[in-house]
Amino acid sequence: MVEAQSKTAGSTAGFQPRIVAFVCNWCTYAGADLAGTSRLPYAPNVRIVKLPCTGRIDPLFILKAFEGGADAVLVSGCHPGDCHYTSGNYHARRRWALFRRLLDFTGIDDRRLYFSWVSAAEGRKFADLINDVTEKVRAAGPFERANPARRRLCR
């Protein structure tokens, strides 16, 4: 899924964060689309993976992204009450609430994992979010060395 090659590992100079965003089809993806069609500039560091619903975002996806070398993961979907499938985002919220704590406890802290609600109308929020997350990850630096989930076998 993610095969980022780390050319920047070890040096923060010129570090370009690689951020994987798992977003739902109905809200955040549409929000990202709006940001694009509105010509809102935002950081090019995010790779968007579209899923039908945040309820479909299995914690394994997040792990896989970190395994592939993501410096951070963003998960985003519809605001509470707006889910296209009524309650997918409520289910997802519980899952994240625990999973983020588990990741933090095992060494992947909140500088590496972000959550948001972005609706189809919030193109501006999406652009600001990406810019903000990118800056935070840039400040945190490359995750390569400290990432406990990173695939190291093929080396």
End-to-end CA distance of the chain: 18
What is the residue whose two structure tokens read 């570090």?
15
Q: Is 113 exposed, middle or buried (0-12, 13-18, 19+ CB in 10 A)?
A: buried
Among 102, 121, 135, 139, binds another protein (CB under 8 A): 102
| Binding residues among 26-85 for another protein as defined by CB under 8 A | 59-60, 63-64, 67-68, 80-81
Residue 148 found at the interface with another protein (CB under 8 A): yes
User: Taking contact as CB under 8 A, which single stretch among the options 17-25, 35-43, 45-53, 114-122 is the one that binds another protein?
Assistant: 114-122
User: Taking contact as CB under 8 A, which single stretch among the options 17-25, 35-43, 45-53, 105-113 is the one that binds another protein?
Assistant: 105-113
1 or 38, CB closer to another protein? Answer: 1
Total residues interacting with another protein, rule: CB under 8 A: 45
Residue 91 found at the interface with another protein (CB under 8 A): yes
39 or 152, CB closer to another protein? Answer: 152
Dihedral angle over CA of 61, 29, 95, 79, nearest 10? 170
CA 107-5-110 angle, to 5 degrees, is: 25
Nearest Cα neighbor of 88 from 58, 112, 120, 114 is 58
24 or 149, CB closer to another protein? Answer: 149
CB 42 within 8 A of CB 13: no
Residue 109 found at the interface with another protein (CB under 8 A): yes
Side chain identity at residue 131, one-letter code? N
Which residues contact another protein by CB under 8 A?
3, 59-60, 63-64, 67-68, 80-81, 87, 90-91, 93-111, 114-117, 129, 146-154
